[in-house]
Amino acid sequence: MDAVTYPNLKVIDFLQNKLVPLQLGSNAEPYASDYGVKWTPNLLIIDAEGKVYHRAVGFIPPLEFIPWLLLGMGKASFEKDNFTEALECFERVITEYSFSNSAPEAIYFRGVSQYKSTHQPDGLKKAYQLLQERYTGSEWAKRAYPYWLLP
Amino acid sequence: MPDKVQWVLDYKESLAKAKSEGKFVFLDFFNPQ
């Protein structure tokens, strides 16, 4: 990550402006034990209370990294019932980083966020349709499968 | 814009900064060796 991803100018800009970037050694106790760190790099999105919302183990290249961060920020906002901010994050992943590994999960959670904020099933049905069209066979297309039954 | 990531290196400081700025924290546990 230090050699390839973190020197990327877009990554620097994103980390400095959208998040608080914290780097700890895997020997930094009690934090490494508290977060169950067994291997590095161990990458997490946490809130101001230290709660974990998104996690990855292993290298993430620059083109995948920003959508991965956006997905994590969206999931954190979703968990906090801040659906407006969550939807902004998921929308960016879907429109700006449709090639990324994070896009199918962003489509799924955009649909869920739309449902949670409107109580209308349209978002869930659209998520199912889009995942079937663009990411058929993906884990998230399978998870959305029951939504095709919605009225 | 800085030419490299300006990391916070203290856990509690990062949480306080996140709270005051209304942001989330990106935490990278790295191999120190």
State the pLDDT at residue B4: 94
Tens-digit pLDDT profile for residues A103-151: 999 999 999 999 999 999 999 999 999 999 999 999 999 999 999 888 7
Residue A63 has pLDDT above 90, yes or no: yes
Residue B1 pLDDT > 80: no
Average pLDDT over residues A9-31: 97
Distance from the Cα of A104 to chain B's closest Cα (Å) equals 22
Angle between helices A103-118 and A122-134 (to 10 degrees): 170
A44 Cβ contact partners less than 8 Å away, ≥ 6 residues apart: A35, A52, A54, A55, B26, B27, B29
Mean pLDDT of chain B: 95
Local confidence band at B3 (pLDDT 50, 70, 90 cut-offs): confident
Interface check A133 vs B, CB under 8 A = no
Closest CA of chain B from A24, distance in Å? 5
Show me where the domains of chain A are located.
Answer: 9-149
Q: Which of residues 1-33 of B touch A (CB under 8 A)?
A: 1-9, 11, 14-19, 21, 23-32
Query: Which residue type does A45 have?
Result: I
Average pLDDT over residues A42-59: 98
Chain A nearest-CA distance from B5, in A, is 5
Q: Above 80 in pLDDT, residue A93?
A: yes
- The pLDDT assigned to A98 comes to 96
Per-residue pLDDT, A151: 77
The C-alpha angle A118, A137, A59, rounded to 5 degrees, equals: 90
Residue (of A125, A21, A31) closest to A65 by Cα position: A21
What share of chain A has pLDDT > 70, as a percent? 100
> How buried is residue B22: exposed, middle or buried, by Cβ count under 10 Å (0-12/13-18/19+)?
exposed
CATH of A9-149, one of 3.40.50.970, 2.50.20.10, 1.25.40.10, 3.40.1190.20: 1.25.40.10
Average confidence score pLDDT of chain A: 96
CB contact, 8 Å: A22 with chain B? yes
Instruction: Tell me what pLDDT residue A150 has.
Output: 84
